Amino acid sequence: MDSALIMLIPISVVVVGLIVVLLWWAARSGQFDDMEGPAHAILMDDDTPRAVDDGSIVDRQASGNADDAQKPT
């Protein structure tokens, strides 16, 4: 049992030290500067559709109704 404690105590000290260093780095690099911005950004409604890779729908407002463009005549 003593050999397990001799191994686990230094490992836990190293892990705690690593966590402290990572938290210090995150705080210094600005990771916690804007905590509410991403939460509010998801609520902002963006009605403009994004372009499809093949270029078929670029802008619904410019081309009229997107459903009319796909209906066969």
How buried is 22 (Cβ within 10 angstroms: 0-12 exposed, 13-18 middle, 19+ buried)? exposed
Note the pTM of the prediction, 2 decimals.
0.48
How buried is 56 (Cβ within 10 angstroms: 0-12 exposed, 13-18 middle, 19+ buried)? exposed
- For residue 59, what are the domain limits? 2-70
pLDDT tens-place string over residues 12-57: 999 999 999 999 999 999 888 887 887 777 777 766 766 666 655 5
- Domain count within the chain: 1
